[in-house]
Structure 1
């Protein structure tokens, strides 16, 4: 594959993953190469490369005679993903707190500030600000574990994060008005910056579990 094809493959991968995670491509949607090529303006070869990457990330499934389709969702899988995410997040957060320096702390504060601004915009314009909030939310959670010294742990955490995000976006169709996400984020940040590892992990797990329960209600 030449550089141009690789760039197109990366672009196709980013766009397809974004549309799958956001729900624009719903679970079990058939992913036909010709139709995708027309939609995204990208050739068949880079699209096949992108779909293969997404299959390895478990966001797409491939079946002989049927081709590619968006992975299905289920309550059982969500519970499993949430448990694994809690385990990975807890380990990564513990290591980050142990190794983090001033630069790491500053990164968390900056990410939280950006998330707060995005949260304000989302409240003012729920439909238009949702995507930006998701990006800032992901950046905040990545900032929390940025000082973790294990590249593989962070890779696995990132993989499961996208799986959980796909489910989380389902809950946006029935938001809980009583839930203050920014306050939850601040509590996690405060405990992390205070190097209170047990509290930071407990709050992080509770944050994930609240989202899981919200999604389960929608699925049910």
Structure 2
């Protein structure tokens, strides 16, 4: 992959997460790490860094234009996101993609998110409803249709909507675990969006979940959310069975 400059969005992300402090050099180093993390993560999600491929520091230094220390810090963060695996003294690889992995993380997400939604609907107040309405409106403006240009903004709005659904009964650990699952699941979703003949109305799915949750229909909201969460793996399973898709994989070279 040819070396490319940081985009304005990546610079904005770096400024957002680096924080403000007195140690200018420290802030600059943190910003560079955040920018490198964001670029690596995006390249993994979009498939530019192939599933299972070796992440060689010497190659990445030239490709991303940063030092070895910055790369290792960014890759360590991606290990925490389950998008990269560490191989002891042998370095890093892009985490492999598989249906078993997708099914496993989807089952866990369903178990946690459905129960959290039920509690949120039971305990949610007017502030929760207002936040949910705002999140749904923001998401709706970006998903008719979802394009390559709008997908990064849509991903952020999608995460905000799902978190707003569960905010009526706050749980920091629930939010942390679901964010991890969402980060890992994003590249499966990215891959699914690129499939032909998807025959899926994501906006209608979100609208149904929103309508039931907002009106306090707990059981219907839970069923709608479960169907929505399983839609991506079911779509991929069918595409694989039909021979319309296959997960990209490296040659597993050492």
Partner secondary structure for residue 23 of structure 1: coil
Question: In the aligned structure 2, how far is the partner of 1:85 from the partner of 1:195?
Answer: 22
Q: Residue 116 of structure 1 is aligned with which of 135, 140, 161? A: 140
Q: RMSD between aligned alpha carbons?
A: 2.1
Indicate yes or no: 2:33 matched with 1:9. Answer: yes
- C-alpha distance after superposition, 1:1-51 (max 9, x if no partner): 944323322332222222222323221122122332333333221221111
Structure 1 stretches (4+) deviating beyond 4 angstroms? none
Q: 1:54 aligns with which of 71, 78, 81?
A: 78
Size of the alignment, in residue pairs? 217
Contact 1:168 1:215 in 2 (8 A): no
TM-score of the superposed pair, with normalisation by structure 1: 0.88
Residue of 190, 212, 228 corresponding to 1:207: 228
Offset, 1:184: 0.7
Flag the 1:98–1:22 CA change in 2: closer, same or farther, 3 A: farther
Aligned to 2:15: none
SS in 1 for 2:85: strand
State the secondary structure of the residue aligned to 1:42: coil
Deviations 1:144-163 (A, max 9, x none): 12333210111001101112
Higher-helix-fraction structure: 1
Give the aligned partner of residue 172 of structure 1.
193
Which range is displaced more, 71-80 or 97-106?
A: 97-106
Give 1:190's aligned residue: 211
Residue 18 to residue 91, structure 1, CA distance change in 2 (3 Å): farther
Aligned residue in 1 for 2:91: 67
The alignment partner of 2:32 has SS state of helix
Tell me the CA shift for residue 63 of structure 1: 1.7
Aligned to 1:144: 165
8 Å CA contact retained: 1:81, 1:160: yes
Q: Tell whether the 8 Å contact from 2:56 to 2:92 is kept in structure 1 after alignment.
A: yes
State the Cα distance separating 1:176 from its structure 2 match: 4.2
1:37 alignment counterpart = 61
Report the CA distance between 1:99 and its aligned residue.
Answer: 3.0
Distance across 2 between alignment mates of 1:6 and 1:142: 27
Where do 5+ consecutive residues of structure 1 fail to align?
Answer: none
Distance 1:101 1:37, change over 3 A: farther
- Alpha-carbon spacing, 1:151–1:119, altered in 2? closer, same or farther (3 Å): same
Determine which structure has more spread, i.e. the larger CA radius of gyration.
2
Give distance in 2, aligned partners of 1:203 and 1:134: 20
Alignment of 1:17-36 (within 5 A): 17-36=41-60
Alignment partners' CA distance in 1, 2:198 and 2:99: 23
SS of residue matched to 1:61:
strand
The answer on whether the counterparts of 2:119 and 2:169 sit within 8 Å (CA) in structure 1 is: yes
